[in-house]
Amino acid sequence: MFNFVKRNVRFFIFFFVILVGAIIYKSYMPLNDVKETEDPLMKGKEVVNVWLYKDESSETFEYLANKFNQENNEIFIKTNIYYKDYANILKTSMVNSDKVDIAQYGFYQMFTNKQLLNLKDIGLYNKQNRDPYYYYDGEPYGIQISSSTIKLIWNKDIFKKVGIDASSSPKTWSELISICEKIKDKDPSITPIEVKLNDIEDVKALFGEPSAKDNANMYASLWNYKDGKYDVDGMKNIISVYKELYSKNLIKFVTNKDDKVTNKYDFANKRVAITLSSSNEKNFYVSTAPLDFELGISDLPVFNLNKQDNSFYYLKSKTLVINAQVKPYEDKEKLKSQQEHFDAVKKVMEYLISNESSSVVLKSNTQLPSLLKDKDISTLKYGEFFNDSKYDYEVKDPSAFVDLDSKTISTILLDAIKDKLAIEDAIKQLNDQYGNALKTSSDYGNIDIDKYKE
């Protein structure tokens, strides 16, 4: 046996090298696809590569690209859509190829490494009162073409069954607690309210939105844009609400980081009366698990009815940015072709952010096109998910560039809710978490904090 191995050692080495090469090739196949795959409609056209993260609206954006390509004789939009490892593939492509023109924001180093084009340099910046631009250190580098809202939703059939007026939503958090108590008293088999808490977006939705509504100078991220710091103290009221609900066995938290569906299925299957749901989950209740009961949808309750003019804030957004390499540079031989490509990129970006494209996204029922100002949601099933009349953008917020530990933050919040930790002690620990993360980002030069306050 030993002699057999010894005689064939070169063969084994050769086989191992081929195997490793195949694995590497497979790993980077998507990059090769970007370079080699061609559509017949590309011929003779200026090709603009658009990179998107695969989500519920991907097919809609592919449709928009195909529509553009059919109608345009000079420019071709090539969509590159990835789900698994999108950020890493995009990161590699931006460094090693010229096949990225427009991309959905995927990693904060795009900003810190100066890989993006300032929208002022391409004539795509037009400051507005309701400002959809994505800023880095005070300069506009991205446009948020779609965003998500957080809504309180409830099973109207359960409300009616236990004798609660199903037509109107709870206006205050105190009223919500009273409703949950009535549900528990009338039917103990039903969980009055269930929510998901497993990432930083959940922290923003469950704790940040109610706190921001109560503080005119704070975003849902807890960033106080007047003082230029995280205002964690603002969470005390909402922590107290969840603590009371938990002490009375009225609320359940789904905390498994990999569990994205239990909360939604529990609600759809009538095991839960009330939950908080993102507008991105709207289509789940329309198509994936169609509801056989009447659904109530409203904005979140407030602490003080006199503060209803304060904004809620958009959560996750689809933000488009432009590769800085598309800007023409001083090379007389290539300047004409560079300018043609630059103009094509601008035209494609204008198309993607247009009212025409936003209207198509709205009708697709997949995402909320926050750029569209006059939205007719009356014909949409569960259209109230897309009612963003009280929502605004977090314009001066550095949080995308601050590495927050969502697991630790969620654990501290749950410990306070479950009375394992005093609220004051929890606030102190949370201040440390947010403050240290902000300091690290500032020390490493990721952000200039002074650029994120008014």
User: What is the torsional sign of CA 333, 336, 340, 346?
Assistant: positive
* Mean pLDDT (whole number) for 313-330: 91
- Which position has the higher pLDDT, 260 or 381? 381
Rounded to an integer, what distance in angstroms lies between the CA atom of residue 435 and that of residue 233? 12
What is the model's pLDDT at position 187? 97
Most confident of 7-11, 219-223, 368-372: 219-223
Alpha helices in 269-334 (DSSP H): 282-283
pLDDT of 19 strictly over 70 = no
What is the model's pLDDT at position 30? 46
Rounded to an integer, what distance in angstroms lies between the CA atom of residue 6 and that of residue 413? 62
Residues 329, 413 within the same domain: no
* Mean pLDDT (whole number) for 2-31: 48
Please report whether residue 8 resides in a domain.
no
Q: Residue 73: which domain range?
A: 38-148+316-364
pLDDT confidence bin for 331, thresholds 50/70/90: low
pLDDT of 31 strictly over 70 = no
Rounded to an integer, what distance in angstroms lies between the CA atom of residue 442 and that of residue 124? 29
Residues 125, 174 within the same domain: no
Containing 193, the helix (H) or strand (E) segment is: strand 191-196
SS3 195: strand
Among the listed ranges 150-164, 258-272, 342-356, which one has the minimum average pLDDT value?
258-272
Please report whether residue 305 resides in a domain.
yes
Residues 157, 220 within the same domain: yes
pLDDT of 334 strictly over 90 = no
* Mean pLDDT (whole number) for 144-161: 97
Containing 170, the helix (H) or strand (E) segment is: none
Please report whether residue 237 resides in a domain.
yes
pLDDT, tens digit (0-9, with 9 covering 90-100), for 256-280 = 877 878 999 999 999 999 999 999 9
Residues 212, 239 within the same domain: yes
- Which position has the higher pLDDT, 44 or 49? 49
What is the model's pLDDT at position 118? 97
pLDDT of 402 strictly over 80 = yes
Residues 300, 446 within the same domain: yes
Residues 112, 87 within the same domain: yes
pLDDT, tens digit (0-9, with 9 covering 90-100), for 213-243 = 999 999 999 999 999 999 999 999 999 999 9
Rounded to an integer, what distance in angstroms lies between the CA atom of residue 454 and that of residue 62? 39
Please report whether residue 243 resides in a domain.
yes
pLDDT confidence bin for 107, thresholds 50/70/90: confident
pLDDT confidence bin for 20, thresholds 50/70/90: very low
What is the Rg, in whole angstroms, of the alpha carbon atoms belonging to the chain? 25
Residues 91, 230 within the same domain: no
Residues 180, 277 within the same domain: yes
Please report whether residue 9 resides in a domain.
no
pLDDT of 4 strictly over 70 = no
Share of the chain above pLDDT 70, in %: 91
CATH code for the domain of 141: 3.40.190.10
Residues 422, 307 within the same domain: yes
What is the model's pLDDT at position 222? 98
pLDDT of 16 strictly over 70 = no
User: Which residue's entry shows tokens 């921001």?
Assistant: 212
pLDDT, tens digit (0-9, with 9 covering 90-100), for 72-103 = 999 999 999 998 899 999 999 988 777 899 99
Query: Residue 312's beta-bridge partner residues?
Result: 391
Residue 215 CB coordination number (10 Å): 18
Residues 170, 231 within the same domain: yes
Amino acid (one-letter) located at 145: I
Please report whether residue 344 resides in a domain.
yes
Rounded to an integer, what distance in angstroms lies between the CA atom of residue 345 and that of residue 123? 12
SS3 331: coil
Residues 323, 305 within the same domain: no
pLDDT confidence bin for 177, thresholds 50/70/90: very high
Residues 303, 328 within the same domain: no
Please report whether residue 25 resides in a domain.
no
Q: Say what the pTM is.
A: 0.87
10 exposed, middle or buried (CB, 10 Å; 0-12, 13-18, 19+)?
exposed
* Mean pLDDT (whole number) for 140-145: 96
Please report whether residue 26 resides in a domain.
no
What is the model's pLDDT at position 330? 66
SS3 447: coil
Rounded to an integer, what distance in angstroms lies between the CA atom of residue 198 and that of residue 195? 10
Provide the domain count of the chain. 2
Most confident of 122-131, 322-331, 408-417: 408-417
What is the model's pLDDT at position 13? 53
pLDDT of 38 strictly over 80 = no
**Closest by CA position to 125, among listed 137, 140, 110:** 140
